Structure 1
């Protein structure tokens, strides 16, 4: 086995049961033999060398391209074993620190998310076939962290709870409030606000695929008079708005554009307005985006620390009125996505190919392990322009959620109110 890789595994694997077959056919066992066994096989010497030198990028590439196979267990089991042993300590290896420093040098080039590049980055991921997302998302196509207010909640129920939780924090106190949804996805958040709170919603996206579906859903729901979707960059949007919501979009802004983003939000937000930002972030200090995710899944993406968000908010003249850190909610969300994707993998392969399926499996597995055993969390940051815009206790949020639950019970659209779908039950079985 490659000596660098052997040294790394010896140092890393304190517990667990990992067997590695190297490219020459040699077999080595690592760990203390506890837990479920995992067997990794290198199919080529090039894959073995690549993983030894740059595991952050090359292990995902090797799995995607068939350079490695997991012959016992799954790719999730393999990554879980690594990160349960390592946590963030994996980045402390000298050669990995050197790679991280090199990536920092050109990070600003990678994340130079000008309007043109931002549109291209969005199309790379979100303009994939809508049938792909139907395979693993909930009925409302929520492609962001769900909110598990009950441990046994299904994915649809948890995604509905997420929309309710966010809506409560936006403090809708009257109908007809002009609301901007930055990065509106397939329209689910806007539909919820228009349907249950009589908001006048403008949703903006950079994805043609998302735009078409969002507009169709608004028409089908009979809400097109109060719900408008368009292709637009946040930098080119005109206000003012009473409410601004952004769910799962801030990860695509890029750290060098944080000041511009929040200054624009301050310009767009009415003096008595409220904004809710829902974004993946890091509880640890700022760090690079995973190399594989950046190259193949979310080009230009970056996960902020809370300190990076706070500094830009301060410079924009906005007030942080509430912060909530959602821990492990995204891990549970992605677990549902992984199970659903696995159950319908053959359909995904028919849409694309085996390489794509392996890429997607690695992406989902790496993402879940990041939220379970690394430093990834979700921040919900509430922002205002005035210190007295909202009540001084959080009771209004709980009261609003209770009212929204009652409104949901009266909803005549059963798919939105469903607690579990067939996909949830199949995955559970």
Structure 2
């Protein structure tokens, strides 16, 4: 979805890599349906094997699956792939407390091999590359409500879910959504938003550019404080 938005609304050519054959087929199908096949290049490829050079790199929800032993390899590859004036955006769930082991239950049933890094681990890995941590933001209060919405939608869709999965799965997924919501609301878990670059001025020195209002879109935007701040 993000790749198609970038290609459609911003006119860029997007290269996407995945290790999932199902995800690859879905991405290519959706790009073709929207007439964006010529602006997108989806590949079944390990990111470590990429040899291209990119003006922009966006990584959302991937760092949690890299694992602590490979954090340096991950950021070193970003360093290698990023053009001299380029910017990389890394978006990841993380701990704002010291490093901690992954929940044994989540490791077994939800994300085998996954690892939620602490900010200290991520910062140390970036420091060992040639990249600037040009901007680092901790998104507080975002993911808890997101998980709450997911849980509500899951419950509302139970008839469809039951057509695909058994009651054991439903209990497991319900518990997963509830316990993760509690972790974001009551524990030291948040989302990191990092911009990385080779040059310190590749990223604007203030965040003003993020909050420029588009008058053409104002009429369709609800006047909600949280939504307005996220534009």
TM, length-normalised to structure 2: 0.91
Structure 1 contact 349–356 (Cα < 8 Å) conserved: no
Distance 1:408 1:216 in 2: 32
Residue number among 289, 297, 300 corresponding to 2:110 in the alignment:
297
Distance 1:381 1:201 in 2: 20
Distance 1:390 1:368 in 2: 32
Equivalent residue runs for 1:174-213 within 5 Å: 188-213=1-26
Structure 1 contact 201–226 (Cα < 8 Å) conserved: yes
Greater Rg by CA? 1
Task: Compute the displacement of 1:391 (Å).
Answer: 2.4
SS of structure 2 residue aligned to 1:307? helix
Task: Compute the displacement of 1:390 (Å).
Answer: 2.5
CA spacing shift, 1:406–1:308, aligned 2, 3 Å: farther
Equivalent residue runs for 1:1-20 within 5 Å: none
Deviations 1:287-323 (A, max 9, x none): 0111111100000111111111111111011100111
Number of residue-to-residue matches in the alignment: 222
The alignment status of 1:346 with 2:164, answered yes or no, reads no
- Bigger drift between 244-253 and 229-238 goes to 229-238
Residue number among 35, 38, 63 corresponding to 1:222 in the alignment:
35
Equivalent residue runs for 1:183-332 within 5 Å: 188-332=1-145
Where does structure 1 differ by over 3 angstroms across 4 or more consecutive aligned residues? 405-409
Distance 1:359 1:394 in 2: 40
Structure 1 contact 196–407 (Cα < 8 Å) conserved: no
Instruction: Name the residue aligned to 2:188.
Output: 375
SS of structure 1 residue aligned to 2:117? coil
- CA RMSD, Structure 1 to Structure 2 (Å): 1.8
SS of structure 2 residue aligned to 1:281? strand
TM, length-normalised to structure 1: 0.50
Task: Compute the displacement of 1:240 (Å).
Answer: 0.5
Instruction: Name the residue aligned to 1:356.
Output: 169
The alignment status of 1:366 with 2:176, answered yes or no, reads no
Distance 2:34 2:94 in 1: 34
Unaligned runs of 5+ in 1: 1-187, 410-416, 420-429
